[in-house]
Amino acid sequence: MHSANHNTGFPRTLVQAEALDRICDLDLVITLNIPFETLKDRLSRRWIHPPSGRVYNLDFNPPQVHGVDDITGEPLVQQEDDKPEAVAARLRQYKDVAKPVIKLYKSRGVFHQFSGTETNKIWPYVYTLFSNKITPIQSKEAY
């Protein structure tokens, strides 16, 4: 699961979580709790180059020329679901649908939540959690 307040991630619904249970046994679920306004602002400033799938963000990865793909010079578009009003609706819907999924994973003791708005501040905590959960892979030379 990716985020309690974000529109991406899997599973998003309890039905999906139950289906996932049938094929694997999760021992770690993380969510990034990012303020609603931050997510809305970031997603609303996302533009794409449809033929290539390149994604630009006007704050973090802006195109060299506004509205134009850096490589092809073709126009960038903002998807309908990235417009502010659509983003707000998606985030509200996701939050409601995700509540039972979060409750399920909390009850199993595998749920971990990280809050913040900056990757460089959140990542060290996520990395530490992963490092403690994942056994290091030993090279063939060690055998």
Phi, psi of 69 (to 5 degrees): -65, 135
Range of the domain at 104: 14-44+82-133
Report the domain count for the chain: 1
CATH number (domain holding residue 125): 3.40.50.300
The pair of three-digit structure tokens given for residue 34, joined into one six-digit string: 């990012």
The tens-digit pLDDT sequence of the chain (143 residues) is: 433 333 357 898 999 999 999 999 888 899 988 888 888 888 889 999 999 999 999 988 999 999 999 999 999 999 988 888 888 888 888 888 889 999 999 999 999 999 988 888 999 999 999 888 877 666 566 55
Distance between CA atoms of residues 129 and 104, nearest Å: 20
Distance between CA atoms of residues 12 and 99, nearest Å: 9
Q: Full-prediction pTM beyond 0.75?
A: no
Residue 143 within a domain: no
Phi, psi of 30 (to 5 degrees): -120, 155
